[in-house]
Chains A and B, each alone.
Chain A
Amino acid sequence: GAVVSQHPSRVICKSGTSVKIECRSLDFQATTMFWYRQFPKKSLMLMATSNEGSKATYEQGVEKDKFLINHASLTLSTLTVTSAHPEDSSFYICSAQRGTGTSGRAYEQYFGPGTRLTVT
């Protein structure tokens, strides 16, 4: 079945530095990937929609210059948290949508295991 990986699984960085998180679809091509963040005991919040070869679409309130998303290939999307601060500490989760379209199972999202970011 469809497998999505994330790297790293956890990262600790100092305030002011940048951190890159990778999301890979291992056994399928993902034209669309999504990035979420999740605070402790809270639900997932959609940050942005990433389409291969085009600019990401950010949700309202998400700073696109702070959370840089690149989707350069059909199997890889990256999220870079720039100038990280302690309030950016969170669980970041990506998902990948196999194929295109809205019918059948094409729209189903396969989630990665998440990346726990701690900014000190």
Chain B
Amino acid sequence: DAKTTQPNSMESNEEEPVHLPCNHSTISGTDYIHWYRQLPSQGPEYVIHGLTSNVNNRMASLAIAEDRKSSTLILHRATLRDAAVYYCILRTNTGNQFYFGTGTSLTVIP
């Protein structure tokens, strides 16, 4: 299973941008990069995904390195509701299974 590495925890001030890094040096050419987040005692929630190009949606932006060995999830203005564990996941284009890493616990400071 392709592995991802994320910092265990990060802090951000409210209304400031947050950059959550993810290393995936063993990524293969057909692996998609997915980001999900999980609030306490809830199931994960989709945030964004990408393959090679940077992606934007209403929740966040995803910046993918040119060699695809790392990516960064960008929350443009952190709110208290963004406090969660953020998971960076690699999905193969065959079985569609998700193998979760340890994730980054984001704390947003008012």
Mark B residues whose CB is within 8 Å of A: 32, 36, 38, 41-46, 49, 87, 91, 93-103
Task: Kindly specify which of A12-20, A39-47, A67-75, A77-85 makes contact with the partner chain.
Answer: A39-47
Q: How far is the CA of A95 from the CA of B100 in the complex (A)?
A: 13
Q: How far is B5's CA from A29's CA once the two chains are assembled, in angstroms?
A: 33
Q: How far is the CA of A36 from the CA of B43 in the complex (A)?
A: 10
Question: Are A114 and B41 touching (Cβ within 8 A)?
Answer: yes
**Contact at A43–B46, with CB atoms within 8 Å?**
no
B42 contacts A114, C-beta separation under 8 Å? yes
A46:B87 contact, CB within 8 angstroms: no
In chain A, positions 95-120 with a C-beta closer than 8 Å to chain B are: 95, 97, 102-103, 107-114, 116
A112: B residues at CB distance < 8 A: 43
Question: Judging by beta carbons under 8 Å apart, are B94 and A102 in contact?
Answer: yes
**19 A-B pairs in the complex with CB atoms less than 8 angstroms apart:** A4-B43, A36-B100, A44-B38, A44-B44, A44-B87, A44-B98, A44-B100, A46-B100, A49-B97, A97-B96, A102-B94, A102-B96, A107-B91, A109-B96, A111-B43, A111-B44, A113-B42, A114-B42, A114-B43
- In the complex, how many angstroms separate the beta carbon of A41 from the nearest chain B beta carbon? 9
* Contact status B46-A110, CB under 8 Å: yes
DSSP class of A's interface residues: helix, strand, loop or mixed? Answer: strand
A: contact size bracket: 20 to 34
Encode contact with B along A15-34: 1 for CB under 8 Å, 0 otherwise.
00000000000000000101
Q: Which residue of B lies closest to A105 (CB)?
A: B49
Q: Which residue of B lies closest to A116 (CB)?
A: B41
The 9 closest A-B pairs by CB, nearest first: A111-B43, A102-B93, A44-B100, A43-B100, A107-B96, A111-B44, A93-B43, A114-B43, A112-B43
With A and B bound together, what is the CA distance between A32 and B96 in angstroms? 9
Q: Is the CB of A46 within 8 A of B101?
A: no
Residue of A32, A46, A95, A107 near B43 (CB, 8 A) is A95
Whole-angstrom distance between the Cβ of A13 and the nearest chain B Cβ: 19
CA separation between A30 and B101, bound complex, in Å? Answer: 25
Residues in B with CB closer than 8 Å to A46 are: 97-100
Which of chain A's residues have a CB closer than 8 A to the CB of B41? 91, 114, 116
